[in-house]
């Protein structure tokens, strides 16, 4: 009897983009998809056998690979875009979740509530699957593994709304800060803005990878960490060359956040990248051009590499072991408390009925 052919194992990686209106969230999704398309174009054309296998792989998932088309417009409703990619011989279904931007101060709490409910709903789906007697072997992981929070480059620091949003998001999902539309900043402005943002976050908001004050206080032996007043002070305590690879990966990430991003200039009628001689994705300012993929101007390549390669598994693991388990515990404790309260009320009613006999 011939052995069964092994089906492709699919790793799902889900990234949400959040931020105020007009800071480049949708442009980031378009830029990321465009770079993936360019990379695939550089590879050899698929053979019929490979193409057939790819189609079979896609049919085994519940996501539909939708390619955004037309001009880049303001996002009014949340939507998802999925793309199958191969990372180090691992099949990954990357799903990008675009959300409407925060646009009115009095509506921010309502908009944030909707985003958090979406994230929690994905946890509910996982919890419902876990409680089944017979689980679905083809169940899809829809948990949000990472949330990119895009910030307005015109601000000199985080305002009260940024802090409120980041604080609440960080209780449910791994958050990575990004400065959108960084082409609006001079080099000096960028070098001033990055430290200010991080100082507003350090020891106050538990975004992904960031040491928190609570963690430091729990570690009584780490006196040097307690003395670290800035993120740079914290990083300087490590001897980089002597650290293991995982620690180096986190330190490299901490040295660069918040990431900066510059979107490619698009054709107004089609949304496709503007054709600029010598550049695959760029912006033409008349007085000169900018290569949006050049590390000199933008951190896009570092952010993409962190998401898809160096930090992807960390983000997936952290989502399950930290955020999902925390939500699961809260949910089950709430159900237990509700059940006990119901039983207590029933007991009181029985006692009252007996006393009336």
pLDDT at 197 over 90: yes
* Cα Dmax for the chain: 94
Task: Give me the pLDDT at residue 275, please.
Answer: 85
CA distance 334 to 90: 38
Confidence at residue 61, expressed as pLDDT on a 0 to 100 scale:
31
pLDDT recorded at residue 147 = 96
Q: Which fold has domain 11-43+61-211+225-334?
A: Rossmann fold (3.40.50)
Q: Which residue has the higher pLDDT, 262 or 228?
A: 262
Please give the backbone phi and psi of residue 134, each rounded to the nearest 5 degrees, phi first.
Answer: -120, 110
C-alpha dihedral over 210, 212, 217, 221, to 10 degrees?
Answer: 0
Q: What is the pTM of this model?
A: 0.82
Query: Mean of the per-residue pLDDT values for the chain?
Result: 81
- Determine the average pLDDT of the residues in 156-177: 93
Evaluate if residue 338 carries a pLDDT over 60: yes
CA proximity to 200, closest of 161, 251, 227, 172: 161
> Which of 4-8, 135-139, 155-159, 305-309 has the highest mean predicted lDDT (pLDDT)?
305-309
Residue 64 pLDDT more than 90? no
Q: How would residue 150 be classed by pLDDT, with cut points 50, 70 and 90?
A: very high
Confidence band, pLDDT 50/70/90 cuts, at residue 54: very low
Please tell me the predicted confidence (pLDDT) of residue 279. 85
Could you tell me the pLDDT band of residue 56, with boundaries at 50, 70 and 90? very low
Q: Which of 29-33, 188-192, 271-275 shows the lowest per-residue confidence on average (mean pLDDT)?
A: 271-275
Q: Once rounded to an integer, what is the mean pLDDT over residues 204-232? A: 68
pLDDT at 82 over 60: yes
Nearest to 308 by CA among 7, 2, 22, 35: 35
Work out the number of other CB atoms within 10 angstroms of the CB of residue 239: 7
Q: What is the average pLDDT across 287-312? A: 91
pLDDT above 70 for 130: yes
Q: Return the percentage of the chain with pLDDT > 70, whole number.
A: 78
Of 298 and 224, the structure prediction assigns the larger pLDDT to 298
């Amino acid at each position: 009897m011939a052995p069964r052919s092994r089906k492709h194992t699919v790793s799902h990686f889900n990234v949400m983009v959040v931020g105020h209106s007009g800071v480049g969230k949708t442009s980031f999704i378009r830029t990321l998809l465009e770079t993936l398309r360019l990379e695939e174009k550089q590879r050899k054309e698929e053979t019929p056998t490979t193409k057939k296998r790819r189609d079979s792989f896609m049919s085994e998932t519940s996501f539909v690979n939708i390619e955004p088309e037309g001009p880049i417009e303001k996002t009014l409703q949340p939507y998802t875009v999925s793309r199958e990619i191969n990372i180090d011989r691992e099949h990954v279904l990357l799903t990008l979740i675009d959300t409407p931007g925060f646009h009115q101060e009095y509506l921010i709490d309502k908009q944030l509530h909707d985003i958090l409910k979406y994230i929690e709903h994905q946890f509910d789906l996982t919890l419902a699957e876990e409680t089944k007697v017979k689980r679905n072997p083809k169940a899809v992981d829809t948990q949000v593994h990472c949330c990119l929070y895009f910030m307005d480059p015109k601000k000199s620091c985080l305002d009260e709304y940024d802090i409120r949003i980041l604080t609440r998001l960080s209780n449910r999902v791994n958050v990575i800060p990004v400065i959108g539309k960084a082409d609006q900043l001079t080099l000096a402005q960028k070098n001033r803005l990055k430290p200010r943002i991080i100082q507003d976050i350090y020891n106050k908001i538990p975004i992904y990878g960031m040491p928190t004050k609570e963690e430091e206080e729990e570690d009584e032996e780490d006196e040097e960490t307690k003395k670290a007043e800035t993120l740079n002070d914290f990083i300087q305590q490590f001897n980089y060359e002597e650290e293991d690879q995982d620690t180096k990966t986190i330190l490299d990430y901490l040295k660069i956040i918040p990431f900066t991003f510059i979107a490619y200039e698009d054709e107004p009628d089609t949304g496709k990248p503007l054709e600029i001689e010598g550049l695959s994705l760029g912006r033409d300012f008349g007085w000169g051009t900018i290569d949006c993929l050049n590390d000199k101007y933008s951190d896009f390549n570092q952010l993409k590499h962190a998401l898809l390669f160096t930090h992807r598994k960390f983000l997936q693991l952290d989502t399950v072991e930290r955020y999902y388990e925390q939500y699961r515990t809260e949910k089950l404790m709430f159900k237990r408390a509700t059940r006990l309260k119901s039983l207590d009320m029933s007991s009181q009613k029985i006692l009252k009925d007996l006393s009336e006999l």
